[in-house]
Structures are given as C-alpha cells and as structure tokens.
Amino acid sequence: MSTLLSNHVNGSKGAGVADMAVEGASIDSAGPFDRAKALSAFKLGDTAFYWITRACAISVLLILGGIILSLIVGAWPAIAEYGLSFLTTQRWAPAADPPVLGALGPIYGTLITSIIAMVIAIPVGLGIAIFLTELCPIWLRRPIGLAIELLAGIPSIIYGMWGFFVLGPFLANHFQPLMISLFDGVPVLGTIFAGPPSYLSLFNAALILAIMVLPFITAISVDVFKTVPPVLKEAAYGLGCTTWEVVRNVVIPYTRVGVIGGIMLGLGRALGETMAVTFIIGNSFRIQSSVFAPGTTISAAIASEFAESDGLHQSGLILLGLLLFVLTFFVLAAARLMLMRLEMKAGK
C-alpha cells in the first residue's frame, strides 16, 4: 500500500515538474517577444508623457507672452500720445478735448493702500501665527484655524460690501474723528491724519486689504513655524530663554525665508485687489496727503471706467493695467532676489 502511495506521489511530482517545464519553455519562447513589446510600450508612454508635460510648460510661457503682447498693443496709442508724462501727470480727464490722462493718482493710491495694509497685517499675522504655534491651548487652536481659513475663503465683493455699509460708517463716526483730534497740530502726522472724516477713503481701503491678506500671512507663517526642529526650541528653553526670546532668536531666524515669502504673497494680493477696494476707496484721482481722503488704485480705476471707455481713454486704462503688471512683477522679482540672498547667507 505504501509502495503504491509512494509511486502515486512520485508520479504526481513528475507530472507537475513536466508541466512546469513545459510552461517554462513556453514562457521562455514567448519572453523575448513580450519583453520587446513591453519596452516599446513603455518608451512610447514616456515619450508621450515628456511631450505633454513640455507642451503644458510651454503653454504657460505662451499665455504670459500673449498677455504682455496684448497689453502693449492695446496701450500703444496712449504710450505714443503721452509718453513718460503719463506717469507724472495727476489729472485724469478723459472727456476733455483733447483727453488728459495721468496715472500718478492711481499709482499713488495703489502704493499707499498696499503699504498701510502690510504695516497692519504683518505684525497681526505674525502674532497670530506665534500664538497658534507656541502659546495657544490645544482646544482653541482648531477654532482659530477654521476662522482664518474662513477669512481666506470669503469673496472680495463681500469684504467690499461690509466695508461700505459697516466698516466705513464706523470709522468715519468714531475712529477718524479721534485720530484727527489726537494729531491736530502735530507736524507730519497732523497732515497724514487730517480731516474731514469720510466713509470712502484710502485708510478704509487699506484696512479692508489688511483683513484680506491677513489669512495668507498667518497660514504660511504657521506652516513654516511648524518646521522648526523641536530640539532647537527645547535647547533654548533649557538655557532659560523665555518664549519671546525663543521666537526672536530661534523661530524667526530659522523660518525667515518662508515668512518673507508669505508676506510677498500677501503684498501681491493687496496690489491687485479690485472689487473690495472699488467699493470703499472713493474713486478720486486727486492726490491728497491725508489717508482719510478718497483716492483710487490702478485696479479700481480700471474696473470703474473700462465699460464706458473707448479710443484713447480705453488705451489709457490698458496702459494702467500694463503698469500694474510691471509693478507686480518688480515686487515679486525683488522678493525672489531677497529670498535668494537670505538662502545664500544661511548657506554660508
């Protein structure tokens, strides 16, 4: 019985080995053909992937070049008519005969509102980020984070409506009279905070911009603060440093490149914001020294007048758009250069 069982097992093993040998031979015989076919398919896929990604990258350059070219072509009549005087003229009178167009007022308003917005948003944003990463209780961290995300997701027109109906009247009735009386007669500051109070002003627009860019600065600062190795902070605390000393001497130096990047992102948003600013800035091309006076920005001027413009007036508005493009480019280029210098300095 055992002999029969052994013979049966041996026979089964022999049959299995024979089957495996046949399958192996068939695989070997078909292997070279399948391998070549697979390699060919892989090569074709890699080639297609390479050209698709290359076309996508080139399309970005083509779109950017097309935008620049269309702006230059559209703005050329105004460039030929006014030249450099377009940058130094304050008067904006498209209905005059001949039309008088000057970009000095919108340029001034764009720079002033952006600077004031960043002066307000940078310390507040960094303060919130430091609180969330170093001091905030765990139970409070999530609600504050959600509030910041919600601020970032609110449409700009909602900010504009809120600024026009709520913030503007509040500032004109309470904050602006206080500042006017406080700095009345003070050199320089008395001119900057001169009256009368107004619902529509450069300061109101700058404050709305500060609220709008605050989530970007805060979110990026929180992310980069979290990249600080805990061992560095623990070593500083072990030496007896306070939280402020740890933030000033460890966290900020370690993350300064990322923090500056977030600030520049917020500045880029402030320079190009349109709808919220249009609601509350006043649309005045006149340059006034007081931040409580109405004004305009490049984007607000374009949004307010482009629909009714034609001819040289339209060309002047397109030239304003080209100026905003160049201004934003130089700001981002300067920020990139600053980041490169900081990285090189840190590498040394």
pLDDT at residue 337 in the model: 82
- Tens of pLDDT, residue by residue over 133-147, are 989 898 998 999 899
Domain match, 202 and 303 both = yes
Domain match, 30 and 164 both = no
Neighbour-count burial of 53, counting CB atoms closer than 10 A to its CB (0-12 exposed, 13-18 middle, 19+ buried) = exposed
pLDDT at residue 173 in the model: 93
pLDDT at residue 104 in the model: 93
Domain match, 201 and 284 both = yes
- The number of folded domains in the chain is 2
In whole angstroms, give the CA distance from residue 132 to residue 145. Answer: 8
pLDDT at residue 346 in the model: 63
Domain match, 75 and 23 both = yes
Domain match, 281 and 155 both = yes
Which of 82, 110, 139 delimits the end of a domain?
A: 82
Domain match, 144 and 60 both = no
Short-list 194, 161, 339, 321, CA closest to 256: 339
What range defines the domain where residue 58 resides?
Answer: 1-82
Domain match, 163 and 254 both = yes
Cβ neighbours around 192 below 10 Å, total: 14
Domain match, 192 and 253 both = yes
CATH number assigned to the domain comprising residue 252:
1.10.3720.10
The stretches in the chain having pLDDT less than 50 are: 1-32
Domain match, 276 and 137 both = yes
Angle between helices 252-272 and 202-225 (to 10 degrees): 140
pLDDT at residue 45 in the model: 77
Which of 82, 102, 120 delimits the end of a domain?
A: 82
Residues 6+ apart with CB under 8 A from 198: 172, 176, 204, 282, 292, 293, 294
pLDDT at residue 347 in the model: 61
Domain match, 121 and 188 both = yes
Domain match, 124 and 66 both = no
Domain match, 157 and 62 both = no
Q: For 273, phi and psi rounded to 5 degrees? A: -65, 140
pTM greater than 0.75: yes
Which of 82, 98, 132 delimits the end of a domain?
A: 82
